[in-house]
Structure formats: C-alpha cells, structure tokens
Amino acid sequence: MTGSAADIAHLHTAVAAAARRSRERGNHPFGAVLVGPEGSVLLEAENTVTTERDATGHAETNLIRLATPRFDGEYLGTCTFYTSTEPCAMCAGAIYWAAVGRVVFALGEEELLAMTGADPANPTLDLPCRTVFAAGRREVAVVGPLPADGAREVHAGFWHTQP
C-alpha cells in the first residue's frame, strides 16, 4: 500500500508541527495527527515523556487519550492516524484498542533504532506495528515508511548515542 499526496502532507504536519514542537519543549522528537474521513485535521499531539515524567507519554498514546473521549470507535475506524515515526508496541496497542482504522508513518522503527542505538532514553522494542496489529482481530491498515521532509532531521543531535 502506498501513500497519497494527502498522506505526505499530513505526515509533514506530524513532523513539522508536533515532533518539532515536542523537541523544542524538551521532549523526545515525536508527533502525531488524527485526520477525519473528510481529510481535515481533528487533533495533534506531541511527546511528553520528559516534561510530564510519564514513560507512556508518547505522541501516539497522548493522541489516543485526546481522541477517545471525543470520538467513538466506529468514527475512529474511519480516521487516519499520522505519526512522525512508526508506532512502538505500546502505541500500536493503544491505536488498536481505540479502533483507529488506518495508520500512516514516516520514519520506520528500524531506521529510528539505527539512529538512536543504545540510548537509554529510547529502549526501542524490535516489534513492528504491523506485527502488533496482525495479532488482533480488527484490521488496521498500515502505510509506511513514507518519505516526509524533516522526519529524520528532527532527531539530528537529539540522541546521545547517535553516530
């Protein structure tokens, strides 16, 4: 499955707005955007792991926390979840349980791991989101990794063990 021009544009929002803003506020450089079936941005979220001292404060879980009180699962099933980086196992689980129908990401987990290395601030699980979703009984369409300007650059110099 390939991404559309709209997918790339929404990924740019996830990277340029949410991930950059997250980093500027002292958090890990990750961002996420929820887009409705008609193509409009419904919500944005950024990572808050550092500032909120919450290990679960990933951009994706923060976005799910914003979305589920506002929208029911039936509606979320018609939405697309855009994220600057492939959702980790925890975030993929949250997306699955919220019943979001489609996920599009820019930077793949393998590429992130190659960039972060053994940095203790990002103890990456080698578990692709497609594997997490495939373990469930509800289908979640996944598109990615897709090229998005700045997806890699927003991490430059952030991780202590970066090459």
Per-residue pLDDT at 162: 47
Distance CA 140, CA 47 (A): 23
Distance CA 152, CA 108 (A): 10
3-class state of residue 106 by DSSP: strand
Q: What is the mean pLDDT of residues 77-96?
A: 97
Residue 78 has pLDDT above 90, yes or no: yes
DSSP secondary structure, 9-30, as one string: HHHHHIIIIIIHHHHHTTS-S-
- 60 is annotated as an active-site residue: yes
Catalytic residue among 46, 60, 86, 109: 60
pTM: 0.92
| Cα–Cα nearest to 103, from 70, 71, 138 | 138
Other C-beta atoms lying within 10 Å of the C-beta of residue 145: 19
3-class state of residue 124 by DSSP: coil
Residue 94 has pLDDT above 80, yes or no: yes
β-pairing verdict for 102-107 and 80-85: parallel
Per-residue pLDDT at 161: 58
Distance CA 59, CA 78 (A): 20
